[in-house]
Amino acid sequence: MNKGFTVWLTGLPGAGKATIAHLLKNRLSENYQINVEVLTSELIRANLCSNLKHARHDRKINIHCAIFICKLLSRNGIAVISSLASPHRTSREKARRETGNFIEVYVKCPLELCVARDVEGIYQRALNGNILHFMGESDPYEEPLNPDLVVETDKETAEESTGKILKKLLELQYIVSERKRCKP
């Protein structure tokens, strides 16, 4: 059975978390034959908590649901990639404590570039007052103090960021290199 683990991608909306999450899922599935699930805020809202909005309290509930799912899946040998902004350090610390085999990846990107990348118009809706307490605008994002890894999506491609995460997973022995898995 594979060792389950959680890759917790945190960063501002538009930083590139979802792109990296799906690239990482594909690489882990194809190259390492690992069962992988990707969690997003939208997925949790759509399937578990449809009444949640973007208020601080609602985001906290959403993140605590994600923590529980990560804990449940990873202890059963599934790799979980959590692609949630998770703006508050206390929630990320809770995820680390409760979800063994955990790696926090700060997907760092300047706010201006996140706004420019915003194809859904979420930043514009927040600026227009349609989303109250929006992180990065009216509600602060607390940058991680000691993430396991930082990827800078304004300076590297999504493929390069994904490669850095895979290298870290190998270092932590959450995955094994393809050569070690192959038997002569």
Q: CA-CA distance, 178 to 166, in Å (whole number)?
A: 12
How far lies 172's CA from each of 37, 52, 63, 168, 175, in Å? 20, 35, 24, 6, 8
Specify the amino acid at residue 3: K
Indicate which residue of 82, 86, 91, 161 is catalytic: 86
Sheet holding 79-83: strands in order across? 36-40, 79-83, 5-10, 102-108, 149-152
| 106-115 residues labelled b (16+ CB within 10 A) or e (exposed) | bbbbeeeebb
Question: Distance (Å, rounded) from C-alpha 76 to C-alpha 6?
Answer: 12
CA dist 32 and 52 (Å) reads 35
Q: Residue 150: how many CB atoms within 10 A of its CB?
A: 15
Active site residue 138: no
Q: Which are the catalytic amino acids?
A: 86
